[in-house]
Chain A
Amino acid sequence: MARLKQKGKAGAAKAYVTRTSAVKKLQISLADFRRLCILKGIFPREPRNKKKANKGSSVPTTFYYAKDIAYLAHEPVLKKLREHKAFAKKLARALGRSEWSSAKSLEDNKPVYTLDHVIKERYPTFIDAVRDIDDALCLVALFASLPANQRIPSSLTQNCSRLTAEWQLYVMHTRALRKVFLSIKGVYYQAEVMGQTITWLVPYQFAQSIPPDVDARVMLTFLELYQTLLGFVFFKLFTDASLVYPPPMDALKDEAAAGVGAFSLQEKKQDSAAAPSGTEVRADGKKVTGKDVRATIKSLAASVQTEGEDEIVKAHETAPSADVDATDDFVAYPSTSNPSEVAELPTLHSISTLAPTIQTKLFASCVFFLSRESPRSILEFVIRSFGGRVGWPASVGSGSPYDENDESITHVIIDRPVVEKPDETPEEKERRRKRKYVQPQWVVDCINKNAILLEEPYLQGKILPPHLSPFGETIGAYDPEEMQHLGVGALADEEDEEMDEEADADVEEDVVAKAVESADPALLHAAELAAEAAGVDSAAFEQQVGKAARRQSKKAAPAEAPEEEMNKMMMSSKKRKLYEKMKYGERKRAEEKASLEQKRKHIAKRSKA
């Protein structure tokens, strides 16, 4: 006889645990559990059947996989958290007894956890990590712009701004930026790194404060994880691009608000690869003998020497040196008997010689000067990512490579209304004539279109054309560009046409309508001939055909409806529910689209009137 099955010993009852029981099992506080879940990336699961997972109870509960919790129980971070709890007690006691020296030594030996292994576990391969840095970049960019307070130490914001700057340096260096979108929330950037599309949002530079309904502890825990993740990812990215990581920062320049310019990218020398390993040995805290010390001094001296030899590469001057030797290319040897037999494979050379789909040196021929009010942090990054050269006034920050009076400047990015300057010197006038004064949106639109657009609509003081999302809308959604192509006149015409549709009862049109109705190409052709004979040009005829077809489809639509209604009776209820859900979504999208189109027409009509 088979064994009797006991309730709660297998299946969902065993696979899931509630949050309360998980916290009890791990013997930690809820706050620590939350911290652990954030760090380890463990999230609640929805069991198929809640009753089965919760011993027959159907109260709303959060469930976790029992295996996830078991996996947490062996976590080194959990051990450290417990140690920290003990440490906090000891410290409180020492402080209470005014034992300052023991409190100090306790504080010095405070248990600190590292997240290296967590990163490795969560992202076993580098690609996994790169794919997931969107959120990390957003949060780091946010914290870089937050003011420091008791909760947020200044070292944290400094580290965040360092990470953001490093990321920008890398993106500029590898020309990875693809799209930029100026939204009301901030600036969306999209880059392509290691074949992964990474989109991140950077807020506009304003002082923000954490609202009261936001739990700062959660954000800081995430930030902790993200900082570590970004550190490792950047290290790998920089090293793979044979750059030194972390890029050395010039403190003086940073003080003078040079921004990204405070960092300098250095190419790595092959022989200095041993340097990081040397520092690691020192950090281990092993015994240091006199020999070791001498050896270390020697190696240090050597590394200093090599560092001195390192050539400093300015970020905006570097270009990826992809010099592929043409002679190394694959050459196909076609068969003599049947030359067409061999398939031509695309080779690396042929691919690289093809016109690139994305032009990453879009602004190579342009030199920009940012006026005082245009956002330098955005524009400098964006322009330099596309090979442009940028200068800015000293009031915005130091380190500008171009002076305002530089003759090579081709574009001035300016974001203020036109002011008449009566007392312009002839030189200034000349300069003004040579340069293009455009608004910042021009740069972004050029990038999104991947072509240098005409400056005319973006000139200083002009009403800008709408800025559209480069990421596109969902399929079938309202497309403003499509409407743009139709043009304002067409829109208005359509309105009119609908009005007097009934009025014009042309004989010829009737013929066309009949031809369309019968869907007979011969009849249509005959109608076309007749139209030609009557002196109607082909464009007008096409228009008529289109009109008739539209009318036809309008007529046909309600005819098939009742039949479908009847067939719906025969659907199973599961399918019917799904169908109704899908139809609901469809209807909603259509409504949204229709309302936008309606608004558009309304606006067009008003502007025409």
Chain B
Amino acid sequence: MASDSEDEDFVPGASDDDDEDEFPEIDTRSDSDDADTPDEDEDASDASSSSETLHVGPVGKTIISDITGRPKTVYPEIEPDYDSDSSTEDDPNRVGNVPMHWYDDMPHIGYNMEGQKVFKAAKGDELDKFLATVEDPTSWTSAFDKSLQSDKPLTPEELDIIKRLQAGENPDATYDPYEPTVEWFTGKGKEEVMPLSAAPEPKRRWVPSKWEKKKVLKIIRAIREGRIVPKNPKTAASQPKVYDLWGTPSSNQPPPLPAPKVKLPTNAESYNPPAEYLPSAEEKKEFEEADREDREREFLPQKYGALRLVPAYKDFIYERFSRQLDLYLAPRVQRKKLNIDPNSLIPQLPSPSSLKPFPCYRASKLSHGDRRVRAISVSPDGLWVISADEQGRVLLWETLVGRPVRTWQFKSKVGALEWCPRKDVCYFVVALEEQLHFLTPPHQPASIASLTHALLSPSVAPESKAASPSPIKWKAPEAGVLADDEKPLLTIELPQSSGLVKQIAWHRRGDYFATLSGTESHTSVWIHQTSKRHSQAPFKKVKGSVQRVAFHPLKPHFFVATQRYVRIYDLSAQELIKTLMPGIRWISSLDIHPSGDHLIVGGYDRRLCWFDLDLSSKPYKVLRYHARAIRSIQFHPVYPLFASSSDDGTVQVFHSRVFTDLMSDPLIVPLKVLRGHRTKDGLGVLEVKWNPAHPWLLSAGADGTVAVWSS
């Protein structure tokens, strides 16, 4: 137990004066011991209390002071003898502070006190060093001793110092930074007895002040005179004062509008309402699930058997609050409340039954099979109808019978066909692609037939007046177009690639007619004169693509509808008269009232515009009641009727009375919606035509039928 006894040298409790001189020195004996027996060292540290064992340096004793009577620490006196300095201590190597590399080549590292060489310790190679770090647990707590040129393990005291320095504490373990203060000059019984100055006390300390007296007198005087009044007692001020506010005249400004009053409660709010007011289970659920803002009424009706059972209404404060929010946050607008019958808003129009006759039901139907019927036309006397489908078949049939009398089969699609409005002759024009054929129905009276032949295929062809050669050729038919007996009397060949003719518009007199082809050039519109076999293009250029053309029934005016505008030209003066702006995105159809003063325009955007030509260039009335695009519209030539057909498969019939006096507006009354056509591929009724003699309507549908609507 040698190591134990050596350890005790460092225990402060057991230390003597001579222990101190070992303070900075590293004890070689203890080092070697520690290296040999590390477990024993641990035992030793366990045995002694840690703070005591880790003490380095002089150790103080705590004694009671004679003077103050308090405990104080007394350190042992340091004797300034040889032993008191550690530098005089036993160092085995006495070479002093010389660079040790001087001894690098030597076997020794210096000399001891006796002058004998101190030899180097046996030094292992790097592997030994490494093994030592692994095997020896004290190796990481050892430091290199310069004078002995070898590693020495650090003592626990030194390690403790290092730990304290690392923690930023005082390295001395016994140092107490919070020692109690020693009161030398303060505290009970230690007051200074002697004054600092020996000057006598001044008079002002004990004589009452004259100036203060003056000030007080001034205040007293002011109080007496009533210049200083005491404050009103608090209780009187806090009470709100009321008086006759309206006793004095008020400004004659009008009062601000009173806030609207809260709605009065209804039966549902009663504590005992009739049973029918109580909500059903689903109503209750709906109420509870809805947000407060979405509820129709802010409470659920409830029934209580007695007044004593009625609980507090939990939203009471919230409702008062929301009323107040309404009062100061809601913008108030004075609204005129319309106390009228909503039905009075519906315009009072004459009853349709008083506006008879108009087509009401379908009298007959002619089927073209499955092919769309694009064009129909009624003969001027109203007896015959021709209809053409998309595959070039033209049927001639009687209006009343509805059976085809004659069929013509063309090789290409028929774009348009129109009966000549003259009554002394009888023929019609069928427009194919780039070709117009003049056909005459069979079984005509002899006089009419001969006149027609004389007009269309005279023995001597009339001389064309045109100086320049026209691109349009009028010629007798070739043999191959149709069978021999069905041969057209006359054919007009339009210029090449002018496209399918979309429309044929006859002039009222039956001599001129205009054709409209599909191309978007100025040559899409042609005006043909039958008697002189002459064709001309009226426009050098046209703005936009022409959708529809029409002749004025009385004046030499010509209407051209482009995609968005309708332009009226004077043919004799050769100038533009007026541009109408219907506001339709895409015009589909156009017709002129027989009086010539009114115009209706239909569009693919479902709008139908009525223009009074004497008035504005904006429509007089815009009707929008078809569900799909309007395809065709037409005025009846005699009766005050017009009809419109649409892709929704309906035909709508209107009464349209135009007055001769300028003061009254035209009267438009919706009469009847005729349903009967099926829509097919998004197309409904493609064409409507009136029978000129009767209030009968013909409609051609995309479903391949032509219907006759009779009154």
Residue ranges of A at the interface with B (Cβ–Cβ < 8 Å): 34, 37-38, 41-46, 62-63, 108, 112, 116, 119-126, 128-129, 131-132, 134-135, 138-139, 142, 155, 181-186, 188, 199, 203-204, 206-208, 210-211, 213-215, 218-219, 222, 227-228, 231-232, 234-236, 239, 245-246, 276, 280, 283, 285, 287-289, 373-375, 415-416, 439-441, 463-464, 466-469, 471-474, 477-478, 480, 563-564, 566-571, 575-576, 578-579, 582-583, 586, 596-597, 599-600, 603
Give the docked Cα–Cα distance between A119 and B256 (Å): 12
Give the docked Cα–Cα distance between A258 and B387 (Å): 100
Q: Can you name 6 A-B pairs with beta carbons within 8 Å?
A: A182-B272, A228-B240, A288-B229, A415-B307, A464-B305, A567-B348
Which residues on the A side are within 8 Å of B324 (C-beta)?
38, 135, 139, 218-219, 222
B272 with A206: CB separation less than 8 A:
no
A415 with B250: CB separation less than 8 A:
no
Give the docked Cα–Cα distance between A157 and B348 (Å): 63
A122 with B328: CB separation less than 8 A:
no
A44 with B313: CB separation less than 8 A:
no
- Which of A34, A246, A578 sits near B328, CB closer than 8 Å? A34
- Which of A138, A186, A219 sits near B313, CB closer than 8 Å? A186
* Given contacts A43-B328, A182-B307, A122 and B245 within 8 Å (CB-CB): no
Give the docked Cα–Cα distance between A203 and B329 (Å): 25
Least CB distance from B355 to A in Å reads 11
Binary per-residue interface labels of chain B (656-679) against chain A in the complex, 1 for a CB within 8 Å, 0 otherwise = 000000000000111111000000
A43 with B345: CB separation less than 8 A:
no
A440 with B307: CB separation less than 8 A:
yes
* Closest chain A residue to B236, Cβ basis: A283
* Given contacts A570-B347, A575-B345, A211 and B318 within 8 Å (CB-CB): yes
B320 with A139: CB separation less than 8 A:
yes
- Which of B229, B262, B304 sits near A287, CB closer than 8 Å? B229
- Which of B271, B313, B328, B671 sits near A38, CB closer than 8 Å? B328
A43 with B330: CB separation less than 8 A:
yes
Which residues on the A side are within 8 Å of B625 (C-beta)?
569
Greatest chain A CB density within 10 A among B243, B338, B351 is at B243
* Given contacts A43-B329, A126-B246, A567-B347, A219 and B266 within 8 Å (CB-CB): no
Least CB distance from B381 to A in Å reads 32
A578 with B255: CB separation less than 8 A:
no
Identify whether the interface residues of B are mostly helix, strand, loop, or mixed. Answer: loop
Give the docked Cα–Cα distance between A472 and B671 (Å): 45
B351 with A213: CB separation less than 8 A:
no
- Which of A207, A222, A579 sits near B346, CB closer than 8 Å? A579
B329 with A206: CB separation less than 8 A:
no
B349 with A570: CB separation less than 8 A:
yes
Which residues on the B side are within 8 Å of A207 (C-beta)?
312
* Given contacts A124-B255, A468-B270, A236 and B347 within 8 Å (CB-CB): no
* Given contacts A204-B312, A467-B273, A215 and B321 within 8 Å (CB-CB): yes
Interchain residue pairs A-B with the least CB separation, the first 3: A206-B312, A582-B342, A471-B264
- Which of B325, B331, B673 sits near A218, CB closer than 8 Å? B325
Give the docked Cα–Cα distance between A112 and B306 (Å): 48
Residue B241 is within 8 A (CB to CB) of chain A in the complex: yes
Give the docked Cα–Cα distance between A45 and B333 (Å): 7
A41 with B272: CB separation less than 8 A:
no
B272 with A467: CB separation less than 8 A:
yes
Residue B323 is within 8 A (CB to CB) of chain A in the complex: yes
A184 with B299: CB separation less than 8 A:
yes
Give the docked Cα–Cα distance between A463 and B303 (Å): 12
A464 with B312: CB separation less than 8 A:
no
Which residues on the B side are within 8 Å of A182 (C-beta)?
270-272, 307, 310
B266 with A471: CB separation less than 8 A:
yes
Give the docked Cα–Cα distance between A603 and B275 (Å): 8
* Closest chain A residue to B621, Cβ basis: A570
Give the docked Cα–Cα distance between A52 and B244 (Å): 45
Known: A43-B331, A480-B267, A578-B345. 5 other contacts (CB 8 A): A38-B327, A185-B299, A569-B670, A596-B277, A599-B275
* Given contacts A43-B329, A116-B245, A181-B265, A186 and B349 within 8 Å (CB-CB): no
Which residues on the B side are within 8 Å of A213 (C-beta)?
318
Residue ranges of B at the interface with A (Cβ–Cβ < 8 Å): 226-227, 229, 231-232, 234, 236-238, 240-246, 250-253, 255-256, 258-259, 261-262, 264-267, 269-277, 280, 299, 301-302, 304-308, 310-313, 316-321, 323-325, 327-333, 338, 342-343, 345-349, 351-352, 623, 625, 668-673
Which residues on the B side are within 8 Å of A276 (C-beta)?
243
* Closest chain A residue to B250, Cβ basis: A124
Which residues on the B side are within 8 Å of A471 (C-beta)?
264-266
Which residues on the A side are within 8 Å of B332 (C-beta)?
43, 45
Which residues on the B side are within 8 Å of A288 (C-beta)?
226, 229
A468 with B241: CB separation less than 8 A:
no
Greatest chain B CB density within 10 A among A116, A207, A288, A469 is at A469
Which residues on the B side are within 8 Å of A575 (C-beta)?
345
B276 with A43: CB separation less than 8 A:
no
* Given contacts A208-B317, A415-B308, A287 and B226 within 8 Å (CB-CB): yes
Give the docked Cα–Cα distance between A444 and B673 (Å): 60
Least CB distance from B167 to A in Å reads 41
A467 with B328: CB separation less than 8 A:
no
* Closest chain A residue to B227, Cβ basis: A287
Which residues on the B side are within 8 Å of A583 (C-beta)?
342
Give the docked Cα–Cα distance between A442 and B276 (Å): 22
Give the docked Cα–Cα distance between A477 and B323 (Å): 25
Least CB distance from B506 to A in Å reads 32
Least CB distance from B300 to A in Å reads 9
Least CB distance from B496 to A in Å reads 46
Give the docked Cα–Cα distance between A355 and B586 (Å): 75
B313 with A119: CB separation less than 8 A:
no
Which residues on the B side are within 8 Å of A373 (C-beta)?
308
Give the docked Cα–Cα distance between A203 and B314 (Å): 10
Give the docked Cα–Cα distance between A558 and B671 (Å): 17
* Given contacts A108-B231, A124-B251, A183-B269, A245 and B256 within 8 Å (CB-CB): no
* Closest chain B residue to A287, Cβ basis: B226
Give the docked Cα–Cα distance between A368 and B190 (Å): 88
* Closest chain A residue to B346, Cβ basis: A567
Least CB distance from B524 to A in Å reads 35
Give the docked Cα–Cα distance between A63 and B352 (Å): 52
A600 with B276: CB separation less than 8 A:
yes
* Closest chain B residue to A235, Cβ basis: B242
Which residues on the A side are within 8 Å of B238 (C-beta)?
155
Least CB distance from A150 to B in Å reads 17
Which residues on the B side are within 8 Å of A135 (C-beta)?
259, 262, 323-324, 327
Least CB distance from B364 to A in Å reads 25
Greatest chain A CB density within 10 A among B250, B265, B301 is at B265
Give the docked Cα–Cα distance between A128 and B256 (Å): 10
* Given contacts A135-B323, A222-B324, A227-B240, A128 and B308 within 8 Å (CB-CB): no
B269 with A185: CB separation less than 8 A:
yes
Least CB distance from A234 to B in Å reads 8
Give the docked Cα–Cα distance between A183 and B348 (Å): 46
Which residues on the A side are within 8 Å of B325 (C-beta)?
218
B321 with A469: CB separation less than 8 A:
no
Least CB distance from B641 to A in Å reads 14
Give the docked Cα–Cα distance between A441 and B307 (Å): 8
Which residues on the B side are within 8 Å of A45 (C-beta)?
331-333
B320 with A138: CB separation less than 8 A:
yes
Least CB distance from A28 to B in Å reads 16
Least CB distance from B345 to A in Å reads 5
Which residues on the B side are within 8 Å of A571 (C-beta)?
345-347
Which residues on the A side are within 8 Å of B237 (C-beta)?
112
Give the docked Cα–Cα distance between A70 and B560 (Å): 61
Give the docked Cα–Cα distance between A478 and B234 (Å): 58
- Which of B231, B301, B317, B352 sits near A563, CB closer than 8 Å? B352
Give the docked Cα–Cα distance between A569 and B608 (Å): 12
* Given contacts A203-B313, A287-B229, A469 and B241 within 8 Å (CB-CB): no
A415 with B671: CB separation less than 8 A:
no
* Closest chain A residue to B304, Cβ basis: A184
Which residues on the B side are within 8 Å of A600 (C-beta)?
274-276
